[in-house]
Structure 1
Amino acid sequence: MRLDGDEGRRWIICHNPVEAERDAARRGEQLAAVQDELARITAARAAALRKARAQADKSGKRLVKPNDTAHRKAECALRDHPTLGRWIKQAPSGRLTINAQKVTAEQRLDGKYLIATSDPDLSAAEVAVAYKNLLEAERAFRTMKSTLYLRPVYHRLDERIRAHVLLCWLALLLIRVAERRTGATWNKLRAELQRINQVTLEGPAGSVTHTTRLTETQAKIYKDCAVAPPPKLTALNPAE
């Protein structure tokens, strides 16, 4: 797709079915909240009118419409709501309704996003993959700054600073290799492998360091990463 004024630039529309389901669910929750609030305002206005009629019938006086200030304030608050107000349409009478045209227009955009490229030779699929790789690169920088603590750097010598950055980069590379080989995030891998413990047993014959038995999930992680699992016995110290 090409737009006027963007010579040499291609625009590609991508669709994510998973994100489309999330958009639909999020919109459904917001519309339900709007309907509940509109029903509450309508019920409150009807209750106030019934009360005014009952008082007029009891006193024999002319019906005076109740003060509608509170209801109008509630409608204004709903109309100006930063999230729910987008689904509201105000009639000439001042009453609020759900904007069906807005809802239909938003449904057409569920799970869709627009990306641009200046490369004329890449296919739409290649551009989408490159865009996802960009997101992965940004996530990698966040990992280096948080999980791997790239900064702050407490070194003064240039060679130590370079070594620190290189070690962080190698750690990030190992994280990405483990994630790609196992299909799980690093947080899940770390949480699973941190359950492996070493226990030192001591007795009259000496001491032995024993590794807890691996679960099927833990063994699969080691296998997928082509890493040898820890030995069952890591230290054996007979008594003298």
Structure 2
Amino acid sequence: YHEVCEAHLARIVRVDLKSELFSYSIDEQALTHAQLMDGKLLLVTNAADLAPAQVIERYKSLADIERGFRVLKSEIEIGPVYHRLPDRIRAHAMICFMALILYRVMRSRLAASQTGLSPERALALLRRIQHHRAKLPDDKTIEGVSSMTAEQVDILSAIGASKPDKNRQLTFL
């Protein structure tokens, strides 16, 4: 009886607990229903105003949302932060949302330009670009951006960012 229950077959296999020996019967109607439903996912919703196609569309979008949280935790590395004030909770959620949007825009632009790079790899290559500022003995300051490789220039072009000049740093990195 316990094995039948653990296998979630109690609706189909009816075990006679009053019998001295183990005996059971098969509920043919329940078996037919189980065979009909085999391999299908049943979606239940409390939103009565949605059409079946809309329910399926929303269910499929959950996977995209879960992928977004996985990206936030792994690639973007936003770890758990414990807030208790509502304004700080909202601010943290907004930062996470903006980071995810930037990640997805970057991913789609890199894919559209067929660079073959992931956002993580592209950012790793762009991080090598440095802004230098040196103060000379006569109190003169010179500054500039390190020379860029062709790959870095291609990445900037692919994501729609302009090449930094000597007066601007890449603030998004």
Normalising by the residue count of structure 2, what TM-score does the alignment of the two structures yield? 0.54
Q: Report if the CA contact (8 A) 2:133-2:144 is conserved.
A: yes
1:140 aligns with 2:171: no
2:130 to 170, 176, 197: 197
Query: Which position in structure 2 is the counterpart of 1:210?
Result: 144
Alignment match of 2:82 (pick from 149, 154, 158) = 154
Q: Is the 8 A contact 1:198 1:212 kept in 2?
A: yes
| TM-score using structure 1 length | 0.41
Letter in 2 for 1:194: R
Q: Counterparts of 1:5 and 1:138 in 2: how far apart (Å)? A: 30
Q: How does 1:59-138 map onto structure 2 within 5 Å?
A: 136-138=64-66
Whether 1:180 aligns to 2:108 is: yes
For residues 114-145 of structure 1, give each alpha carbon's deviation from its aligned partner in whole angstroms, at most 9, with x where no partner exists.
xx687987xxxxx9xx97x7665433211222
Distance 1:158 1:120, change over 3 A: closer
> Counterpart of 1:215 in structure 2: which amino acid?
T
Q: Is the contact between residue 131 and residue 166 of structure 2 (CA under 8 Å) also seen in structure 1?
A: no
Q: 2 CA distance for matches of 1:188 and 1:222?
A: 13
Asked which structure has the greater RCO (Cα within 8 Å, sep 6+), the reply is 1
Task: Tell me how far apart the structure 2 counterparts of residues 234 and 182 of structure 1 sit (CA, whole Å).
Answer: 23
2:154 to 213, 220, 229: 220
Secondary structure at 1:232's aligned position in 2? coil
Aligned to 2:37: 6
Change (3 A) 1:205 1:134: same
What percent of counterpart residues are identical? 30
**Alignment: residue pair count:** 119
| Aligned partner letter, 2:156 | Y
* Contact persistence 1:179–1:185 (CA under 8 A): yes
- Structure 1 residues without counterparts, runs of 5 or longer: 10-115, 122-126, 236-240
Q: Please report the RMSD computed on the Cα atoms of aligned residues, expressed in angstroms.
A: 3.4
When residues 187 and 8 of structure 1 are mapped into structure 2, their CA distance, relative to the original with a 3 A threshold, is closer
In the TM superposition, what is the alpha-carbon distance from 1:188 to its structure 2 partner? 0.5
- Give 1 or 2: higher strand fraction: 1
Amino acid aligned to 1:217: E
- Distance change >3 Å, CA 151–CA 191, structure 1 → 2: closer
Instruction: Describe the SS at the equivalent of 1:217.
Output: helix
Q: Per residue, is there more helix in 1 or in 2?
A: 1
* Deviation, structure 1 residue 209: 1.8
Give 5+ residue unaligned stretches, structure 2. Answer: 1-33, 44-50, 112-116
2:25 aligns with none
Give, as a single letter, the amino acid of the residue that structure 2 aligns with 1:171: A
Is residue 2:99 matched to residue 1:171? yes
**Partners of 2:80 and 2:165 in 1: CA distance:** 36
1:4-83 superposed matches below 5 A: 4-6=35-37, 9=40
SS at match of 1:5: helix
